[in-house]
Amino acid sequence: MRAYVSVDLEGMPFIVSPEHLGIKGALFSEARSITTKITLFVAESLHKLGFEEIIIADSHGLMTTIDVDKLPEYTYIVRGYPRPLSMVVGIERAHAAVFLGYHAKSGSAKATFDHTFSGAKVDRIEVNGLEVSEYLFNAYVAGHYNIPVILVAGDKALIENDVAKHTPWTEGVVFKEALSRYACISPSLPKILKDLEAALRKAVEKFKQGEAKPIRAQYPMDVKVRFLGTEMADAAELLPIVERVDGKTIRFTARDAVEAYRILEFILLTNPRPQT
């Protein structure tokens, strides 16, 4: 069996400052160390639970957060950006998925670094009329390939809302509870690893018993994106497949989750927001 592990940063424990998030940040080395330790622990645990290979998708920012020197032989790592399907590229090669360090969607109350794909550009994303988080959109891509997300670990606001509501069979591990956008309380790392180990055992058992289910969106997919500025909607509207809804909002229709993800990624990648 092969597992896929998508790793974001904002939902990792102890990560609270913008200085944690970028390679030039004063606290990025700390964030990198935390993320690498947790990712390695999960990879090792999955391997012990019967997954012969682990694909790790380094999926934050420039997507070079994880220290590759520490990776065991049975792992493969996806790094760098831009790349097709961003946070879930290559997921079709796996049998089950785990999402680590995931955060709540844009506009969530008491959620550390809440955003949806781009905190600098996006205010809200809807799929078929439902507001989605990165977790849910990524899970739709996994579901397109009939792959269940068996465990999500990250911000409490995500675990108790999108994960519990839309994929109640998915095991959730809370890494942090936000006190504000830039403050949180987290368990100690030993406690987190203990909780992860127990949750992974449950998640893999559910997977083997067929209780973990892929989540699929209805096709074709109607996608609506509300930007933070009208200039981004101006640019996106140049695509013939895009309809302008209002000053800051556009929509498009895609054949499936993979096509929708690719279109969204193209719009965000080619739509820089100028300084005003």
Identify the pLDDT of residue 270.
83
Q: Of 66, 31, 34, which Cα lies nearest the Cα of 192?
A: 34
Q: Which residue's structure tokens are 């127990």?
A: 198
Domains, the chain: 2-121+133-208 (3.40.50.10780)
Long-range contacts of 264-271 (CB under 8 A, 24+ apart): 264/117, 264/125, 264/137, 264/223, 264/225, 265/82, 265/85, 265/86, 267/225, 267/236, 267/239, 267/242, 268/117, 268/118, 268/121, 268/122, 269/82, 270/235, 271/121, 271/232, 271/235, 271/236
Cβ atoms of 138 and 101 within 8 Å: the answer is no
Pairwise CA distance, residues 115 & 108, whole Å: 8
CB atoms within 10 A of CB 152: 29
Where is 10: in which H helix or E strand? Answer: none
The rounded distance, in Å, linking the Cα atoms of 23 and 32 is: 9
Contact 196, 38 (CB under 8 A): yes
What is residue 22's DSSP assignment?
S
| Cα within 13 Å of Cα(260), Cβ side | 26
Residue 272: per-residue pLDDT: 67
Positions in the chain whose pLDDT score sits under 50: 276
Asked if residues 192 and 175 have their Cβ atoms less than 8 Å apart, the reply is yes
Q: Which two tokens stand for residue 238?
A: 């140049």
pLDDT in tens, 194-253: 999 999 999 999 999 999 999 999 999 999 999 999 999 999 999 999 999 999 999 999
H-run or E-run covering 226: strand 221-227
Q: What is the pTM of this model?
A: 0.95
